[in-house]
Chain A
Amino acid sequence: MSTHDTPTERPTQRQPVKFYQTGTFTVGNRLLPENVRSVQADMRRTNSLNSGHRACQGCGEALGARYAIDAAMQATRNQLIAVNATGCLEVFSTPYPETSWQIPWIHSLFGNAAAVASGVAAAMRVKGHSDVRVVAQGGDGGTTDIGFGCLSGMFERNDDVLYLCYDNEAYMNTGVQRSSATPPGARTATTPAVGRQPGNEFGTGKNVPAIAMAHRIPYVATASVANLRDLEQKVTTAMAIRGARYIHIHVPCPLGWGSAPADTIRIARLAVESGLFPLYEAHDGQVTARTPIRRRVPVDDYLKLQKRFAHLFANEAGKERIALVQAVADRNIAEFGLLAGDDAHG
């Protein structure tokens, strides 16, 4: 078993990693002191979700999982067990007899990842392996819909589990059907945009990070593959805390969203910069940090790169609906104080 140092204890002398600085939000960091570089920039990163899996090109979920799990591995010195709900991540990573997982990993069912993880955590407790930590992970469907009862139970018991939700805003593995995380106006296989139908109905859906906060669990955060350093840091923060923790990660899906694989990060960033996907952290049910928007963009910029919203640009009714989407973004910005300079909210 290899051991892994925590970021603060890293040695300063070792082979520098040749990643390139492409902007402050990406993996590069070679201009940074080594001890604050990203986990992915570390040669000793674990590649917990190894290459060779069968995700689509540009899959946000694969990217998010790799960063999140590697960060959790580093934070726990590789003493990590993962529980996975059914969904794209599970299917593309473990086509029998192959597996991409380099860590102990179990998949049981679609709706029980949180409960299975509670069981693993309980076993670790009774066995005296308090250093071995547990993550549960699933898609938005496995989390916000079918796995919601088990998730809430795990939260309520404050079991020592970090739950990672990879939100690609629909049931992708079964062919892009609506979930309760599908945004208003989006076309899915079960919310078709035929005639004057808007796609997914406005005024529906649920805000699971807020519901997680309502359980008063020690840590809740939202994250995005647009800001992978931030994602790593949130996972690292979460792993330093005991009890139930939840990170809701926005992960574009080129196949389900009808977007170019090369645009995954760009789309994720536009969701953040438009205010549609606010990034924040909450401790014990109180928001403690938000990521301000650096350069605000209208929601149109985000929507128009995705075929699932194409119908909104087709006629006047669509324009009115885009205005409603803009109103959602505006409300988020106001609620969280997301505009840069608005940092009374820090």
Chain B
Amino acid sequence: MLKQTEGSRAVAEAIALCRPEVICAYPITPQTHIVEGLGEMVKAGELAGCEFINVESEFAALSVAIGASAAGARTYTATSSQGLLFMAEAVYNAAGLGLPIVMTIGNRAIGAPINIWNDHSDSMSMRDAGWIQLFAETNQEALDLHIQAFRLAEELSCPVMVCMDGFILTHAYDRVDVPAQAEVDAFLPAFEPRQVLDPAEPVTIGAMVGPEAFTEVRYLAHHKQLRALALIPHLSSEFAAKFGRASGGLIRPYRTSDAETIVVALGSVIGTVKEVVDDMRGEGVAIGCVSICSFRPFPLTALREALEHAKRVIVLEKCLAVGLGGIVSDGVRKALSGVMLKGYTVIAGLGGRAITRKSLRQLFEDAGADELEQVTFLDLNADIVASELERETLSRRSGPTAEAILRRLGTVASGIG
């Protein structure tokens, strides 16, 4: 059914269609509307056979999810930013135990300075925790990916994060096609756990494992992700066949077959990138883009095939590996190992800074002329940085940086994308 609705609401409805049994939640912007929506459905009796548990922290939220999932319940939670970091220990644990929990990340920056707006620092900080990470480009895709996520998680016995840009998607009203219950039921069978806490068949889960077996256990976690590389496209095609639209998959190339310049990005920004690509194509520039949907497992082969014929690759990242540059760029470089082409890392959209068509256009042109630094910060205000650096040389007690910059700018919460 077609609906004009908020991204968070669309996701809540998708989760409800997946017949979850335990949902635990803790509020944090911009994820909150999703679990509020689900809480309402549970209280209104629209979600039969589902427990909604309000907990005292994100650490508890994921811990409750771990217990519920290990006891055989289809389990869901959602968080963002500081909340994801607060549950970090349990994030690794859920993956280590192989529990097929699905969690939405309403992507948001990590403080300090505290910032509620969108970038990808939160989920990317957990990139090696053993969860599958899928990034949604649109609200429709966010909805669809959650349905695929439960299938994927349960087939592999591996937790899945569905990442959607905070505010840009979570709070945007858009038209989405909400499938019927019967359609979802036909795609997503009832959860049959691989391991379960059951008095009829007692098992020990979470034993102490030493050097004699730890490597093998870890290898198998890696192996699971390698299997996901095959399963993700398979589920995406099955989904397309059943629901009549393309969603998910490993990567999505756009106008790349003859492109000399290819932009790689994740999430909602790809929409803006495509517009700029179309503009430049109209002027005869051989440019295209690739959207990475599956960030973990990282689709090395698929990316290589999509990129290797290009002359240059621009990786547009909403996350900064401080002291290095880009995180996604690292993976892209690995995908292209041995291939000679120019690679640029562009850090953009941090803490919600708008990524405009104008800036992207300039950026792609500079890259096309190979006039870009290896690592570029899109729309960095060099004056502010210079003056702050100078201020710090003037006094030992120069005070807090962020506050000094805000004072100089004289505005708060501007330039949000």
Chain A residues near B (Cβ < 8 Å): 1, 78-81, 83-84, 90-91, 94-97, 99, 101-109, 111-112, 115-127, 132, 149-150, 152-153, 156-157
Contact = CB atoms under 8 A, between A and B. Distances in A.
Contacts of B131: none
B21 interface: yes
Contacts of B65: 119
Interface stretch (B46-54, B291-299, B311-319): B46-54
B22 A153 contact: no
A102 B72 CA distance: 19
B22 A107 contact: no
A116 B67 contact: yes
A157 B93 CA distance: 24
B57 interface: yes
Q: Interface range on chain B: under 10, 10 to 19, 20 to 34, or 35 or more?
A: 35 or more
Given A83-B67, A150-B63, 7 more contacts: A106-B204, A115-B60, A119-B65, A119-B73, A150-B60, A153-B56, A157-B54
B213 A97 contact: yes
Contacts of A120: 67-68, 70-71, 197
* A80, A106, A123, A125: most-surrounded residue (chain B CB, <10 A): A123
Given A108-B97, A112-B60, A116-B63, A126 B50 contact: yes
A275 to B, nearest CB: 34
Contact of A125 (B51, B59, B66, B75): B51
Contacts of B50: 126
Contact of A81 (B24, B54, B199): B199
Nearest to A113: B63
Contacts of B71: 81, 119-120, 123-124, 127
Interface in B93-131: 93, 97
Given A123-B22, A123-B73, A149-B60, A115 B207 contact: no
B67 A104 contact: no
A213 B75 CA distance: 31
A109 B89 contact: yes
A120 B67 CA distance: 5
Contacts of B66: 108, 112, 116, 119
Contact of B63 (A99, A119, A123): A119
19 contacts: A78-B199, A81-B71, A95-B207, A96-B207, A99-B204, A105-B197, A109-B63, A115-B59, A118-B64, A118-B67, A119-B63, A119-B64, A119-B71, A122-B67, A123-B68, A126-B50, A126-B51, A150-B56, A150-B63
Interface of B: 21-22, 24, 49-51, 53-57, 59-60, 63-73, 75, 89-90, 93, 97, 197-210, 212-213
B16 to A, nearest CB: 15
A218 to B, nearest CB: 19
* A103, A104, A107: most-surrounded residue (chain B CB, <10 A): A104
Contacts of B208: 90-91, 94-96
A103 B70 contact: no
B64 A116 contact: yes
Given A96-B213, A118-B67, A103 B56 contact: no
B199 A1 contact: yes
A153 B207 CA distance: 26
B59 A105 contact: no
Nearest to A79: B199
Contact of A104 (B22, B69, B203): B203
Contact of B67 (A119, A127, A153, A157): A119
Contacts of A117: 67
Given A101-B202, A153-B57, A122 B68 contact: yes
A108 B59 contact: no
Given A116-B66, A157-B53, A107 B202 contact: no
A1 B212 CA distance: 33
B207 A107 contact: yes
Contacts of A95: 207-208, 210
* B49, B207, B209: most-surrounded residue (chain A CB, <10 A): B207
B199 A122 contact: no
